[in-house]
Structure 1
Amino acid sequence: MTSRRSLPKITGLPRTTAVATLLITALAAGLLTGATSAAAGDTAPVRIHDIQGTTRVSPLAGQQVADVEGIVTGVRTYGSKGFWFQDPKGDGNPATSEGVFVFTSSAPTVAAGDAVKVSGTVTEYIPGGLKSGNQSLTQLSRPTVTVVSSGNPVPAPVVINSRTVPARYSPQGDPAAENSINALPLAPSRYALDHYEALEGANVRIGTSRVVGASDRHAQLWVTVKPYENDTRRGGTLYGSYTSQNTGRLQIQQLAPLAERPFPKANVGDVLTGGAEGPLDFNQYGGYTLIARTLGTVADRGLKREHTRPQSRHELAVATYNVENLDPADPQEKFDALARAVVDNLASPDVVALEEIQDDNGAKNDGTVGAEATVRKFTDAIRAAGGPAYAWTSIAPENNKDGGEPGGNIRQVFLHNPARVSFTHRAGGDATTPTGVVREKGRAALTLSPGRVDPANAAWENSRKPLAAEFSFRGKPVIVVANHFGSKGGDEALSSHHQPPVRSSETKRLQQAQSVNAFVKEVLKADRRANVLVLGDINDFEFSATTKALAADGALTAAIESLPRSERYSYVFQGNSQVLDQILTSPAIRGFSYDSVHINAEFADQNSDHDPQVLRFRP
């Protein structure tokens, strides 16, 4: 399945999850030592900044507080229902937020501008649960609310812009606390995560800002308040290393239900004119999120889908394209759009490696593994769009053994244009039999074509096995290995309370990369001049340990590194333009032309969530 599928909004989840667990954890860590409350006999009333404290976990977590005063700044009547309120006076300490969320569970009866007194329990809610690694959201639960007056001015927003957000993303986590930053004093002038945390629940405002993550079906988009931070040529923000988290990114949602106010449609590079104002929330799928009470309009900057150039008569064009869980039940419009992309945007490559081709009944889990109907519907659509009569080859997986959507049985498929390239068929390949390498007439050849690479290796358990095939172009053999490495599911977010975040999924991809690298070395041992392409949804960055392992010992080179840095991306996740899809070349392939063809990832209307890649060279 896709590497990072959009998930339901956190506002649809119950706020009680993992609260008790966090309280126990916080107590054990000593975070609540010395906590006080009005119930303990304090004479001074508890104020919001007392609840928020100067770390990520409230010093009053688990305690009852009474008659906390403030002005309502935003009301949410859907999803996680509740409201935000804020102390209009404050304590002047930039490390303590003056706003907090009140979880009511049912639609609140207050309105923005109401002066209220709230009594309730201080809790720490972890979106996604304790094991997610997410930071927690301080809130008041099981509240009693008294409206003192109405029509008051909402407290002036704190402005978030390029000058206020620090360049450094996060402090280093405490090694004694498993690299957690929860107990560290907030330093909002030094670290972006601390800056946002010190405004959690507060009324904030951004000015006119560039969109760096397109609007989606969950009614959210991403902007940057730092227009020159690692900007791409097409208006995005590049994620170019593990320390380039891009501090100016901020997710935008809105308070108004969609039935009352449709969410704006935006592509990367568009501009949110007039910005947004509202409470700053924290959720599972975006981290710090401005929940807009007032929202500007989107100015269309006219982003166009790219078209790569056609290959010359002497060039072999090879592409990779993740078509996102394609099966015959998908609308014909999706097949037609993907087909037009192959023909028009990719200029009908000679060989196309497809990822996420599902079996003939999609997610229906009945033992079906064949994908003939899926591929036929796609190749028919390509011909109808004016493309070549592609032939195809693949190996069906064992039922539910390759991961992805249960019952879908996704696999890699090769299309090739018989008018320009021939497929070298060597029979015998199946889901469990590995292809080998032999020397034949002075050149490397596969024992099975198509054949799976190292399918019994534990690295490929519950994951897509690589598919190798041999082609011939103008009499020259070319070996292509199509891949779909393990997803990033389970990795902690950039905004995790562990810093650096735990990237647990890397272990499997590293093993998968080592497996493919060993196979390529076998090919090169048989013929050091062999033309080998390793391509597909690698699900990892060009600077990752996975890519380094694939390329180890000079066996391969990541072709995307031939592009200018600002063009190195195939996917947009949480406002970061990044590399997931790659083509790597053996040493004999020189003088190639590479293109990451941006037709999906930056757009609100997507035919897939990945951009395809094309490489042209003369074997």
Structure 2
Amino acid sequence: MILALILVLLPANMQSAYAAGPVVFINEIHYDNTGTDTGEAVEIAGPAGTDLSGWSVVLYNGNNGAVYDTDALSGTIPDLGGGHGVVVLTYPSNGLQNGAPDGIALVQGSTVVQFLSYEGSFTAVGGPADGMLSVDIGVSQSGSGAVGNSLQLTGTGTGYDDFSWVGEAANTFGTFNTGQTFGVVSPIVVINEIDYDQPSTDMAEFIELKNTGSVPADLSLFHLDLVNGSGGTVYLSIPLPAVELAVGGYFVICASSATTALCDLDISPDSNLIQNGAPDAVALYYDGMLIDAVSYEGDTAAPFTEGSGAGLVDDGASATGGISRCEDGVDTNQNNVDFVAAEITPGAVNACAPPPPVEMCVLPDTPIYAVQGSGPVAAISGVVTVQGVVVGDFEGPSPQLRGFYLQEITGDGDPATSDGIFVFNGGSEQVNLGEVVQVTGTAMEFQDQTQIGSVSSVEICDATASVEAVEVTLPVPSLDYLEQFEGMLVHFPQTLYVTEHFQLGRFGQVVLSADDRLKQPTNIVLPGADALAMQAANNLNRIILDDSTNNQNPDPIIFGDNGMPLSASNTLRGGDSATGITGVLTYTWAGNAASGNAYRIRPLNAMDGYVWFDINNPRPEAAPERSGRLRVTSMNLLNFFNTFNDGNAGTPGCFPSGLDSDCRGAESEFEFERQWAKTVQAMLDSQADVIGVVEIENDGYGPDSALQFLVDRLNDAAGAGTFAFIDVDTATGQMNALGTDAIKVGMLYRPAMVTPVGNTAVLNTVEFVNGGDADPRNRPALAQAFEEVGTGAQFVVSVNHLKSKGSACETADALDGQGNCNIVRLNAANALTAWLAADPTGTGQPDALIMGDLNSYALEDPIRAIEDAGYTNLLAAYHGDEAYSYVFDGQWGYLDHALATAGMTAQVVAVNEWHINADEPSVLDYNTNFKSEAQITSLYAPDQFRISDHDAILVDIDPDFMAPDIEIVLSHRQLWPPNHQYVTVTADVIVNDNLDPNPLIELVEVLSSEPDDGLGDGDTPNDIVILDDFTFDLRAERSAQGPGRWYKIKYRVTDFAGNVSYHTAAVFVPKNQKK
């Protein structure tokens, strides 16, 4: 038969009346658009009810002709109208390559139904279309078209050739294309079995037909011709009755129903009905058109032979032998392929004998270690045959890895050569773990991993086996050390710690390290040689743990604590650990350049694969218990905006441009409700009295501002008036006093605990903001003095946000570990301490806390400059090298600081980082994008965890309100005799302060109750001579008319909290000797 699926390959006079070209065909394609390619898909059209089991779509790269993806189809085609329908195969972003050229093959079993291409033609290398030249569809996508466009077939008909490809238009995936109409589906009937010769007189001859289509067949539209092979003449024409032949049904035409079982149409003559060949043929017509022909015992003249005639002989010595299609009903339009000699089964499934067993895995193979070699690339390239045991099965369509890892059962014992290799089979499901497999394909490097691609043969050997995982430990001795284990089953016996989970939500991966989490070098060693050496060591002490796919935004996210998937209630925190991980060591990406090629251990779908996370760093049940009378906190809010980038030009955008492009944070009201609920919970639970915030929307202080919104929500929860904020613009009289960036710093406080006093001060000078560059870099700093309610004790808080390391400044990165913009931050730090020393609040209060995100680690230049100005790094003082508030690139340190003047340091009673953010995976935040509907619920809780990427810093203080005690001990309390001579008097000022061991002692004045009396002894004009603050020459004289003379010596003592005491001591000169 000339099956409708492949009619396009046949001569015109043998075309079916039913359809032009394949009836199951590629109907719509989207492979390219502007920006990241999204929504890519291939649509298949065909008769409704067509079973797609065994069908597949194979993607070919046009540059090398190789297969890069294979995806199995399943189910049946639905009826969308006219007896036809479509199914859609979708791909992840950039799943379809962008041409010049690339191709798509539609395959049934192993038969290529179509091999189409776009942006040119090419010849396939390997796979089902091996050696075939693709057919260019003639239209393409430029890469500048809109997301949602596609290439489509239009027209009217039932087969592929009835339609025409048109250029980009809005896609119609899942429905018929625009301008496409399907007609009625016609039946497909084949000649399925013939018995034309028996012993002696032929008394039991028959022809069997089968309906292999998707709709019933009215046989009155068909007729059979029996053709003599000598001249190609018809010697008998057989019309068929008006019988409806069901889908899959058989119809038998026989010479005698008495001698043929299940005969449906008994015709004459009763004997010698069908000629005996050498050659002869049977032809089947539909509505006058030849649709199937079977030539036996040679080739009958055209058009009565499909391919080559069946060289089979219906053995006349057997009463039960004939020629049958094997497999039953299958038509490749090759008589000599489709028909075999078999026992006859008229009216039933053909008795196709199973093929003889094939001896497997007999080809000589090349050892995998020989292919791998001892270098970074394959030692052998080109076509090879390898054999080994499957140690990792990652088969299946994308986002699976589309292949499996094969390892030599017995390696070569050379530690420099890997015994494992990846086999890329394009998504086919061919093997299972533990099976011994022989593979023939092309050895090559793909993304720097050695693999076998363009696979032509995968044979399952009659054996299973196992291998022992090789032990690997961290740190490794060199960056290329793991190359020798690429593709092998490995075991990490150590306890490994979660040192990064930034990409856990996007790619399902975690970075692990040995001994502990990795520390940020410049947090604990000086920049330069020490930091670079520590960084080099860190680089050797990390491995990626990945799931079994290259999927983005997986659901579920496999890696959570205690063997359960990640959720809002089952997190995976930094410092949690896993011991004894076993898996396959791969060198791949995660499916996107955002997580590029790297060594990864994949325990899932690996032989004896194992990973289990233990909780080493449990979530804090509450904020650290408050130790002081007051708590000052800084929080990075990670873009708290109540204006959204909603993509609507008719709604307001964000400051300063008024455009959506300046908006950050939540992208919808729904997301914002989730964000503020978490933020408010964290602020309330922090028990803070003063909160310095970083990264809040810079939209003023009005009723619709983000700052007012936040305070309103806090007061809704805590009670009216519980919180207030500093309106910086009103207090300073400056518009946009805190700058014109999209974000700013801010300050909240509890009026019941503290009262703002003095000037609200802003450091927004060019010197500070630009940091030496021509353009602004740092956000302006805010300083406010507060007075404790009830004691009157005062202190100053400064909130800051210095330039990040993520973008370049005018001075290039010194490559000493401090990152970009270090000089800008250093200049700002110096300007900040000088400004605070100049009493910007006008209170005279020297006690100050510098807080906020300084974007500098503990031993970097800006922090050391602040310490050089007399400040104490409180986190270092209280927590040493273990302090952290932030993780970047898997390395932990703190950019969020609390630095105190000497006086303020003495008033600090506790300092804590509240680890509610940095330890938590970012996917547990409020965002909804890139999450499934289920994950929007399961990964969110309205609690304090993961409101930001920075931890809050909590400083508990007991502000000093007690003035120093003073005692003055004088060397002389009286001067006698009044002989007009100087007496040297010394003062010993004894001070006691509750906190300050060295308060400031100042001489205020030395006064006399009588005026100077002219020149005295020694011709000195002054009765009082101050030699220093504690030594004085006082003249022993007094007026004869007075009661005596008093000298009064007054001191002022100031502690570092600014508390002041005054005290006066007196020296008396009596009038007479009556003492």
User: TM-score when scaled to structure 2?
Assistant: 0.40
Choose from 470, 474, 488 the match for 1:165: 474
Q: Please tell me whether residue 486 in structure 1 is matched to residue 804 in structure 2.
A: yes
1:120-146 deviation digits (Å, cap 9, x = unpaired): 5424x3xxxxxxxxxxx4344863353
Choose from 679, 682, 701 the match for 1:341: 682
Choose from 617, 633, 637 the match for 1:319: 633
Query: For 1:559 and 1:68, how far apart are their aligned partners in 2?
Result: 65
SS at match of 2:628: coil
Query: For 1:399 and 1:421, how far apart are their aligned partners in 2?
Result: 23
Query: For 1:139 and 1:369, how far apart are their aligned partners in 2?
Result: 60
- Structure 1 counterpart of 2:633, which letter? A
1:275-320 deviation digits (Å, cap 9, x = unpaired): 342233354648432122234444456813251233533x4x3221
Q: Please tell me whether residue 212 in structure 1 is matched to residue 212 in structure 2.
A: no
Shift in Å, 1:390: 2.7
Question: What corresponds to 1:554 in structure 2?
Answer: 869
CA gap of 1:467–1:300, structure 2 versus 1, over 3 A, is same
SS at match of 1:94: coil
- Structure 2 counterpart of 1:519, which letter? L
CA gap of 1:46–1:359, structure 2 versus 1, over 3 A, is farther
Shift in Å, 1:354: 1.6
Query: For 1:145 and 1:394, how far apart are their aligned partners in 2?
Result: 72
CA gap of 1:326–1:103, structure 2 versus 1, over 3 A, is farther
- Structure 2 counterpart of 1:275, which letter? I
Query: For 1:341 and 1:513, how far apart are their aligned partners in 2?
Result: 31
Query: For 1:211 and 1:470, how far apart are their aligned partners in 2?
Result: 42
Please say if residues 355 and 536 of structure 1, whose CA atoms lie closer than 8 Å, have aligned partners that are also in contact: yes
Q: Please tell me whether residue 386 in structure 1 is matched to residue 718 in structure 2.
A: yes
Question: What corresponds to 2:546 in structure 1?
Answer: 253
The structure that has the greater radius of gyration is 2
Please say if residues 222 and 575 of structure 1, whose CA atoms lie closer than 8 Å, have aligned partners that are also in contact: no
Shift in Å, 1:50: 5.6
Larger RCO (CA under 8 A, 6+ residues apart): 1
Shift in Å, 1:596: 0.9
* Pairing of 1:277-288 with structure 2 (within 5 A): 277-283=583-589, 285=595, 287-288=598-599
CA gap of 1:280–1:529, structure 2 versus 1, over 3 A, is farther
SS at match of 2:693: strand
Please say if residues 70 and 86 of structure 1, whose CA atoms lie closer than 8 Å, have aligned partners that are also in contact: yes
SS at match of 1:289: strand
Shift in Å, 1:480: 0.5
* Pairing of 1:127-526 with structure 2 (within 5 A): 137-140=448-451, 143-149=454-460, 152-153=464-465, 155-160=467-472, 164-166=473-475, 190-191=477-478, 193-207=479-493, 209=495, 211-213=497-499, 216-218=504-506, 220=508, 222=510, 224=512, 226=514, 229=515, 231=516, 238-239=519-520, 240-241=524-525, 242=531, 243=534, 245=538, 248-255=541-548, 258=554, 262-263=558-559, 264-265=565-566, 266-272=572-578, 275-283=581-589, 285=595, 287-293=598-604, 294-300=609-615, 303-305=618-620, 306-310=622-626, 312-313=628-629, 315=630, 317-328=631-642, 329=669, 330-344=671-685, 346-348=686-688, 350-358=689-697, 372-386=704-718, 388-393=722-727, 402=741, 409-423=742-756, 435=764, 454-457=768-771, 459=773, 461=775, 463-473=777-787, 474=792, 476-488=794-806, 506-524=819-837
CA gap of 1:83–1:338, structure 2 versus 1, over 3 A, is same
Question: What corresponds to 2:301 in structure 1?
Answer: none
When the two chains are superposed, the root-mean-square deviation of aligned CA atoms in Å is: 4.4
1:127-168 deviation digits (Å, cap 9, x = unpaired): xxxxxxxxxx434486335313267435432223xxx334xx
Q: Please tell me whether residue 568 in structure 1 is matched to residue 877 in structure 2.
A: no
Please say if residues 514 and 550 of structure 1, whose CA atoms lie closer than 8 Å, have aligned partners that are also in contact: no
CA gap of 1:595–1:221, structure 2 versus 1, over 3 A, is farther
Please say if residues 268 and 303 of structure 1, whose CA atoms lie closer than 8 Å, have aligned partners that are also in contact: no
SS at match of 1:419: coil
Please say if residues 443 and 450 of structure 2, whose CA atoms lie closer than 8 Å, have aligned partners that are also in contact: no
Query: For 2:703 and 2:95, how far apart are their aligned partners in 1?
Result: 39
Please say if residues 886 and 895 of structure 2, whose CA atoms lie closer than 8 Å, have aligned partners that are also in contact: yes
Query: For 1:370 and 1:153, how far apart are their aligned partners in 2?
Result: 73
Query: For 1:245 and 1:342, how far apart are their aligned partners in 2?
Result: 35
User: TM-score when scaled to structure 1?
Assistant: 0.66
Choose from 382, 391, 394 the match for 1:75: 394
Unaligned runs of 5+ residues in structure 2 are: 1-91, 99-363, 526-530, 560-564, 567-571, 643-668, 730-734, 809-813, 925-945, 960-1056, 1058-1075
Shift in Å, 1:521: 2.5
Query: For 1:58 and 1:520, how far apart are their aligned partners in 2?
Result: 56
1:544-563 deviation digits (Å, cap 9, x = unpaired): 34533454x33533221113
Question: What corresponds to 2:445 in structure 1?
Answer: 122
Question: What corresponds to 2:160 in structure 1?
Answer: none
Please say if residues 474 and 542 of structure 2, whose CA atoms lie closer than 8 Å, have aligned partners that are also in contact: no
SS at match of 2:897: strand
Query: For 2:713 and 2:480, how far apart are their aligned partners in 1?
Result: 51
1:485-517 deviation digits (Å, cap 9, x = unpaired): 314479xxxxxxxxxx96787131342232222
Query: For 2:555 and 2:373, how far apart are their aligned partners in 1?
Result: 37
CA gap of 1:99–1:297, structure 2 versus 1, over 3 A, is same
CA gap of 1:486–1:369, structure 2 versus 1, over 3 A, is farther
CA gap of 1:389–1:69, structure 2 versus 1, over 3 A, is same
Please say if residues 379 and 390 of structure 1, whose CA atoms lie closer than 8 Å, have aligned partners that are also in contact: yes
Aligned length: 489
Query: For 2:460 and 2:684, how far apart are their aligned partners in 1?
Result: 64
Please say if residues 372 and 378 of structure 2, whose CA atoms lie closer than 8 Å, have aligned partners that are also in contact: yes
- Structure 2 counterpart of 1:146, which letter? S
Query: For 2:711 and 2:488, how far apart are their aligned partners in 1?
Result: 53
Question: What corresponds to 1:95 in structure 2?
Answer: 416
Shift in Å, 1:613: 0.7
Query: For 1:13 and 1:582, how far apart are their aligned partners in 2?
Result: 43
- Structure 2 counterpart of 1:482, which letter? N
Query: For 1:369 and 1:99, how far apart are their aligned partners in 2?
Result: 63
Query: For 1:149 and 1:462, how far apart are their aligned partners in 2?
Result: 66
Query: For 1:342 and 1:300, how far apart are their aligned partners in 2?
Result: 26
Question: What corresponds to 1:133 in structure 2?
Answer: none
Query: For 2:895 and 2:385, how far apart are their aligned partners in 1?
Result: 48
Please say if residues 403 and 427 of structure 2, whose CA atoms lie closer than 8 Å, have aligned partners that are also in contact: no
